[in-house]
Structure 1
Amino acid sequence: MPFVVGIDSSGNNNNFSSSSLESTDVMPDTPTNNFPTINTAGGIGGNNTYSQGSLRFTNDSTSNYDTGACSAFGTMAIDTSDSTGWYWEFLMEDLGREDLQWNGIIKASATTGDAYGSQDGNIVRSFSWNGAGKIMMQQPQDTTNSADSTNPDTDGAHIGFALKNNKMWVRMNGTWYGNPAANTPSAPEVGIPLHINIPDGHWLPFFLAYGGYSSFGDCTIVANFGQNGTFSGNTTAGGYSDANGYGDFKYSVPSGFLALCSKNLPIPTIKLPGDNFQTVRWAGSGSTDQDITVGFQPDLTWVKNRTSGTKEWNIHDAVRGAGQWFTTHTSSLNEADYSDYFGPFQSNGFRVADVLSDTLYNASSNNYCSWNWKAGNAISGTGDFTQGTIASTCSRNVAAGFSIAKFTGTGSNGTVGHGLDAAPEFIQVRQRAAHNWFVYNHKTAASPEDYIMYGSGGSGITDDATAWNDTAPTSSVFSVGTNDGINANGTEAMAYCW
């Protein structure tokens, strides 16, 4: 139903009078339930015009139209592997030329530069639908399809999208290609199947509006993510909402799909990330101790002098003791006792000392920054979490996905309990002796467990399965091989796991 302008009031007779507002100008977007809009800061192309609360987009640029230089994106990303389905609609209000419009989804990381070109090599960056040719295209791997510029069906058409479990469906003027509610695939007249395996990741609703091409005129597209059922007054709202009662759509929302809005998003396990991680800056005093406020008691603090670029990156953690020092910039230094300079950890932060001869933490006229993580504040023993073949103790924050594990190397292939409930994606290991940092990152390579990424003093990434024993981390342990840099017999080591 249309919204009535002026129906709300303050209750204290302090009411505003409306002027030049239509009922179609009022949206159900509120501080307690936000819907996406078109991102005015994220579009590609200097000739984009946004209006109607950033739900209407016009492009009149011919510049680089073939590289997507006239595209726009939504403000809320979708996890393509989500078992919750998501639904939204576009209206092709005015198309200068019908085959020169594409609508669909684009990788959230690919919203600068060439919207569907080769910025990421052969990695698929977008999936888009062209109603004129009834075709689906993926870019940049499938650039040969061409639409029929004489097909009159698209101008003024309503295009709907449904996305779920790495599949996307399209409807045009109420007619689905396939059946998203029944997970029924279909194929367009040309191009790749609509029922396609879309890679995991975060993707944004997007469209390319090739306006001003030749003499065909501007291109205008209007979005409805559930708050704009009339498409800015262009049509009568259908009055359809999702199963949770959210949204106002032209056509019915398929079963198993929801409006893309904040009320439909899952409640995060951690509502306030600042309770578990904080970046803190301070100016050194030189002559007095300083208690640095973090907001919680940190268990890992990484400190850098911002004034002197040559000064070390300093790591302190609660498992070894706040005063025990590691540095990341070199492999030649052993762990050292810096308790005269740093510590202790406190309930709301940490202390830096008044040592005038040192510039690492508190020198006058020097500025500092620290990155602080909360793990467990209490050390978990070997019986408190799943152990590997090599015993470990741990400070862990399972909800935040961070832990600090201490273990003693054996020189033989083994596993170490990390204390989390999911496989860590990033692990830094440092022996408590002069040696390199060994780093695991799940994005290092197609088989990252085969590689060492050196944190200091090394030569970048090395193909060497003896670090992680050619075995990926699991939800309870990570593996170590026979490499003396990570698992020397009798040498204690620290692992920081995210």
Structure 2
Amino acid sequence: MGTQLNYCDTLADWTDLFGTMSLALVTDGEDGSAVECSVSYDRSAWYLNTVSSTDDVEVVARIKGAAGETQSVILAAVSDVTGYRFDVTPASGEVGIGQYVSNGSGTIHAGVVSAGALVDGGWNWIRARYSGGKVSVKAWGSSESEPAGWDILDATPLNVLPAGRVGLYFYNGTQRVDTFGVGTAGDAAPTADAAPAAPVNNAFALDFADGAGLGADVSGNGNPFSPVGSPQQTADTPTNNCCVLQAYVLGGPQGNVTLSNGNLTQTCSATSDDRTTGTVGFSEGRYYWEIEYTTVTAAQNFVGVYGFAWNSDGTLTNGGPIAGFASGDLLGLAVDRDICEVELFKNGVSQGVFPFVPLEGPSRPIQGNQPHTLTANFGAKPFAYAPPIGFKALCAANLEEPAHRDPGDGVGILAREGTGAQATVSGLAARPDLVFMKRLDADGTWMLFDTVRGAGRSLATNSNGAEANPTNGIREFFNDGYTVGDGSNDNALGGQYLDFFLQRGPEFGFDIVTWVGDGVSGRQIVHDCGGTPEFIMVKALTSTNGWVAYHKALGATHFIQPHQVSAAVANSDIWGDVEPNSLAFTVGNNSTVNAPAETYIAYVFRSVPGFSEVFSFEGNGSNAGPRANLGFLPRAMLGKNADDAQDWFFVSSDMDGGRNNIERWVEGNTVEQAFGSPGLFSFLSSGFDVINSSSLINGNGDTILGIAWAAQPFQYSNAF
């Protein structure tokens, strides 16, 4: 007899042997529908109404059971008595053959490892054969090719196979079958991707251009979809992403918030402080959005922007009083980031204008807290009330044009293989005014070169040593490149190197300045980074006084050392306890910054929207770590745990083959080669998530500080 293939699209082909099961047709088969059997009674079987041959029969089936369970094919059992059972146990990768005798079996073979890769809890093929008085079996995973050999071949059965029906047997739980074929020995089995042709009347075509008829089937087959909730048709495209909600705040993910309605509705049923933020951040400009609270249950349900909250009990983060709000109220926020003011509206009526102090990084909507339900509108559909004049919807197209549409005009990374001979690097988009050079595949000192000191003069962030004049490293600078030597630290044959370079200029938020110390506290060092410095690295050039650094998260009362693992240190004679301004920064009389007659160099940085961000965050010691909002997809970052004796880290997507799951890093304060770890950061279009609990980058309660440079500004990203 020829092979009979049944794709399990009807229940009529199946019967319950013992009357202890429930059968159902489900849709999760590999190629469409499947028959599901659920049972609470041990050792049950279900049978296909097909009579087998008594001396030459072969069965092939694709079956799926619960993880850890054994599934079986039964050949020619008469009623509930004699036949043969072919077992597959994916969890152990074993197949076996047993004699099936009235709910029991006499084992012929067991514990044989299958030649095919089996999927525990997934779909697997099994082929069972009785031919010439012998029994055989093989099994393999659904996505694998059928193995040529048998796992058990021509075993001698205990008795002759009787006539009867064929089917499936299992112990308990739920089992599914989506393909069952019966034929003579040697018939071809269905392939892993075999599938019946879909009936034409199951086809559909949805016309998403019709906003009033979302779900309508325009194929002519009459298969419409029924929209759930109130879906909105918008003009949102990959070139203009509108803000939506995300269950993530600066401190980490918010596990008690449920998002729905295209991530515009949020529900929190737990008495926790869980909340959401918007996916679009902004460092300048004026934006308006609306929040409708369906359910207000607590005094601290709130709406706001990073650094400011309006609570339902009529209080504000900066005092009050103000009118509260309740279930059913529609709240509007008009945020002017340029002057740091927010105007609040309730049901279209202004409640006043209030100042706020932005938190670090781009400002974002933030809302929630305690049990509540709310729906946000950031402009994907018409607002209920007209925004104030000059305020725009919060979407990528309305963000202020960044100073650098392509950050590559001011920052670059070159991954290169050493040639073992002097070589020229050219064609760089950014002028390399500062170059950090590091070998990745072997230990080697950092080499820092800049155009202010000139080629041939090197500093190392892993050392307190004075400026060196190595015979290798950068020998000459050009507007679009430089020449490197042939040493182990810069260009050994076959060596793997990373060159990180920056262009100097106020538009890039970066300047290089030098001065000769006078020992007088309060010395003002003029700079031209285009704004107020947020990160400064200083090194004495002619002595072994170590590096010192200023970071805005520490302030002028502390310093941190780029060449050390040490935590930040409180000190008043490094920066003179004076915060920097847009014209100058202050140094005290400490020898690391202002010894008489000593020459110093400083690398001065500020944040530039869409290009660079000096950042900090508080670690939580979890693999579900904090999220840092930068306003761009990062390309490279330099950072340090300021509260613990941890190494500095430098990471870049270029070191991970352009991937945004960052696994490799180099220590900025050591000579060590690059390290690898299963996930440190996940780079996002607007910042990064910390995905590792290591104290290096995420010590619980520790301040992690750093500076990041962009691969792409957020408004030009195609996805969140």
- TM class, shorter-length: 0.5 to 0.7
Question: How far 1:337 sits from its partner (Å)?
Answer: 1.5
CA gap of 1:280–1:223, structure 2 versus 1, over 3 A, is same
Deviation at 1:462, TM superposition (A): 4.2
* Post-superposition offset of 1:426: 1.9
Change (3 A) 1:345 1:339: farther
Aligned partner of 1:408: which letter? V
1:325–1:337: 8 Å Cα contact kept in structure 2? yes
Q: CA deviation at 1:250?
A: 0.4
The one-letter code matched in structure 2 to 1:402 is: F
CA distance in 1, matches of 2:332, 2:585: 44
User: SS in structure 2 opposite 1:258?
Assistant: coil
Structure 1 residue 88, shift from structure 2 partner: 0.8
Summarize the Cα distance change of 1:312–1:207 in structure 2 as closer, same or farther, 3 Å threshold. same
1:66 paired residue number: 272
Distance 1:457 1:7 in 2: 62
User: Is 1:327 equivalent to 2:436 in the alignment?
Assistant: no
Count, aligned residues = 381
Residue of structure 1 in register with 2:379 after alignment: 226
SS of 1:87's equivalent?
A: strand
- The Cα of 1:465 is off from its aligned counterpart by 3.6
Q: Which amino acid aligns with 1:426?
A: F
Q: 2:531 aligns with which of 422, 431, 438?
A: 422
Bigger fraction of residues in strand: 2
- Give the superposition deviation at 1:343: 3.5
Cα distance in 2 for partners of 1:197, 1:266 equals: 20
Between 1:318-327 and 1:427-436, the stretch displaced more is: 427-436
Aligned equivalents of 1:477, 1:196: Cα separation in 2: 28
Following superposition, the deviation at residue 372 of structure 1 comes to 1.0
Aligned equivalent of 2:491, options 352, 358, 362:
362
Q: Which residue does 2:635 correspond to in 1?
A: none
Residue in 2 that maps onto 1:432: 541
- Which residue is equivalent to 2:121? none
For 1:297 and 1:251, the matched residues in 2 are separated by 49
**Post-superposition offset of 1:324:** 1.0
Contact 2:231 2:261 in 1 (8 A): no
Secondary structure of residue in 1 paired with 2:593 = helix
Q: Which residue of 2 aligns with 1:86?
A: 287
CA distance in 2, matches of 1:50, 1:367: 45
| Equivalent residue number for residue 508 of structure 2 | 400
Asked which structure has the greater CA Rg, the reply is: 2
Match of 1:26 among 230, 233, 255: 233
- Local SS of the residue matching 1:362: coil
1:424–1:162 Cα change, 3 Å: same
Q: Structure 1 residues 250 and 440, CA, compared in 2 at 3 Å: closer, same or farther?
A: same
Q: 2:439 aligns with which of 295, 305, 312?
A: 305
Match of 1:467 in 2: 574
Matched with 2:127 is none
The one-letter amino acid of 1:56's match is T
Q: Counterpart of 1:495 in structure 2: which amino acid?
A: A
Alignment partner of 2:538: what SS?
Answer: strand
CA distance in 2, matches of 1:16, 1:204: 43
Please report how far the alpha carbon of residue 39 of structure 1 lies from its aligned counterpart in structure 2 after TM superposition. Answer: 2.5
Contact in 1 for aligned 2:291/2:303 (Cα 8 Å) = no
Question: Alpha carbons of 1:101 and 1:26: their partners in 2 closer, same or farther (altered >3 Å)?
Answer: farther
Q: Which residue pairs with 1:239 in the alignment?
A: none
Indicate how the Cα distance of structure 1 residues 47 and 468 shifts in structure 2: closer, same or farther if over 3 A, else same: closer
- Any residues of structure 2 matched to 1:28-427 within 5 Å, and which? 28-39=235-246, 44-46=253-255, 48-59=257-268, 62=270, 65-68=271-274, 71-79=275-283, 84-93=285-294, 95=295, 98-99=297-298, 102-105=301-304, 107=306, 127-130=309-312, 134-136=313-315, 138=317, 154-164=326-336, 165-176=339-350, 178-179=351-352, 183=353, 195=354, 197-199=356-358, 201=360, 202-208=362-368, 220-228=373-381, 248-255=382-389, 257-286=391-420, 289=423, 291=425, 294-308=428-442, 310-331=443-464, 333-355=465-487, 358=488, 360-364=489-493, 366-375=495-504, 397-413=505-521, 414-427=523-536
Deviation of 1:469 after TM superposition, in Å, equals 4.2
Q: Is the 8 A contact 1:297 1:350 kept in 2?
A: no
The CA deviation at 1:317 is: 0.6
Q: Contact 2:431/2:503 (CA < 8 Å) preserved in 1?
A: yes
Counterpart-to-counterpart distance in 2, 1:281 and 1:370: 6
Q: Does 1:456 align with 2:563?
A: yes
1:271-325 CA distance string (max 9 Å, x none): 22221112332333446746376432201011222234x5322211111122211
In structure 2, the partner of 1:110 is none
Go from structure 1 to structure 2 and tell me whether the alpha carbon gap of 1:350 and 1:162 turns closer, same or farther (over 3 Å shift): same
Amino acid in the other structure paired with 2:278: G
Q: How far does residue 418 in structure 1 lie from its aligned partner after superposition?
A: 1.8
Q: Residue 327 of structure 1: CA displacement? A: 0.8
Shift of residue 167 of structure 1? 4.2
Letter in 2 for 1:104: V
TM-score (norm 1): 0.65
Identity of aligned residues (%): 26
SS of match in other structure, 2:272: helix
Conserved in 2, the CA contact under 8 Å of 1:104 and 1:128?
yes
Task: Confirm or deny: 8 A CA contact 2:247 2:254 kept in the other structure.
Answer: no
Change (3 A) 1:398 1:221: same
Residues 402-437 of structure 1: per-residue CA shift (max 9 Å, x gap): 111223333345333323442322222222213212
- When residues 38 and 329 of structure 1 are mapped into structure 2, their CA distance, relative to the original with a 3 A threshold, is same
Q: Which runs of 5+ in 2 are unaligned?
A: 1-206, 212-217, 606-720
Call closer, same or farther: CA 1:91–1:291 in 2, change over 3 Å: same
TM-score, scaled to structure 2: 0.46
Output the amino acid matched with 1:39: Q
Give SS of 1:399's match. helix
Give the 3 Å change call, closer, same or farther, for CA 57–478 of structure 1 in structure 2.
closer
Structure with higher RCO (Cα < 8 A, 6+ apart): 1
Q: Name the structure 2 match of 1:244.
A: none
Displacement of 1:30: 3.8
1:477 is aligned to 584
Preserved CA contact (<8 Å) 1:292 1:352 = no
Tell me the SS of whatever aligns to 2:301.
strand
Gaps of 5+ in 1: 9-14, 108-124, 184-194, 212-218, 229-247, 376-396
Secondary structure of the corresponding residue to residue 29 of structure 1:
coil
Residues 58 and 200 (structure 1), Cα distance of their counterparts in 2 relative to 1, 3 Å cut: closer
What is the rounded CA distance, in whole Å, between the counterparts of 1:316 and 1:472 in structure 2? Answer: 28
In 2, are the aligned partners of 1:5 and 1:21 still within 8 Å (CA)?
no
Q: What displacement does 1:55 show?
A: 2.0
Shift in Å, 1:37: 1.2
For each residue in 1:159-190, what CA deviation from the matched residue of structure 2 results, as whole angstroms up to 9, or x when unmatched?
222334444444333344x24xxx4xxxxxxx
How far apart, CA to CA, are the structure 2 residues paired with 1:46 and 1:312? 44
| 1:475–1:170 Cα change, 3 Å | closer
Q: Is the 8 A contact 1:101 1:207 kept in 2?
A: no
Q: For residues 41 and 366 of structure 1, do their structure 2 counterparts lie closer, same or farther at Cα, with a shift above 3 Å needed?
A: farther
Give per-residue Cα distances to partners, 1:307-355, cap 9 Å, x unaligned.
34x5322211111122211011221x22112243333334433343333
**Cα distance change on mapping 1:16 and 1:469 into 2, 3 Å:** farther
Following superposition, the deviation at residue 200 of structure 1 comes to: 5.2
Which whole-Å deviations, capped at 9, do the CAs of 1:453-496 have from their partners, x for residues lacking one?
A: 33335965444443334443333333334333323333322121
Q: Structure 1 CA distance, aligned partners of 2:224 and 2:501?
A: 51
